[in-house]
Structure 1
Amino acid sequence: MKDIFELKLIVTSENIDDLNHVNNVVYVEWMDKVAFEHWAFLTKNNPLPEYIWVVVKHEIEYLKQAVLGDVITVRTWVGETKGFKSERLMEFYKNNLLLVKAKTVWGMLDAKTYKPSRIRENVLKVLQPIK
Structure 2
Amino acid sequence: MENTFSQNIKITPEHLDELNHVNNVVYLKFMEKAAIDHWYHVATEEERESVRWIARRHEIDYLRPAFLNDELTIETWVEKHDAISTERHYLISKNGQPVVKALTLWIALDPVSMKPKRLPAELMAKFDRLF
Tell whether the 8 Å contact from 2:83 to 2:124 is kept in structure 1 after alignment: no
Q: Counterpart in 1 of 2:99?
A: 99
Q: Distance in 2 between matches of 1:31 and 1:88?
A: 10
List gaps (5 residues or longer) in structure 1.
none
Q: TM-score, normalized by length of structure 2?
A: 0.92
List gaps (5 residues or longer) in structure 2.
none
Q: Counterpart in 2 of 1:35?
A: 35
Letter in 1 for 2:38: H
Tell whether the 8 Å contact from 1:50 to 1:112 is kept in structure 2 after alignment: no
Q: How does 1:11-90 map to 2 (within 5 A)?
A: 11-43=11-43, 45=44, 47-48=46-47, 49-90=49-90
Q: Distance in 2 between matches of 1:70 and 1:98?
A: 13
Q: Distance in 2 between matches of 1:58 and 1:6?
A: 19
Q: TM-score, normalized by length of structure 1?
A: 0.92
SS at match of 1:101: strand
The structure with the greater share of residues assigned to helix is 2
Tell whether the 8 Å contact from 2:78 to 2:130 is kept in structure 1 after alignment: no
Q: Counterpart in 2 of 1:109?
A: 109
Does 1:125 pair with 2:125? yes
Letter in 2 for 1:98: P
Name the Cα RMSD after superposition.
Answer: 1.7
Give the superposition deviation at 1:127: 2.3
Give the superposition deviation at 1:120: 3.2
Q: String of CA shifts for 1:19-64, please: whole Å, max 9, x gaps.
A: 1100000001111111110000011x46311111010000000001
Structure 1 82/68 Cα, relative in aligned 2: closer, same or farther at 3 Å?
A: same
Q: Distance in 2 between matches of 1:130 and 1:10?
A: 27
State the number of aligned residues: 130
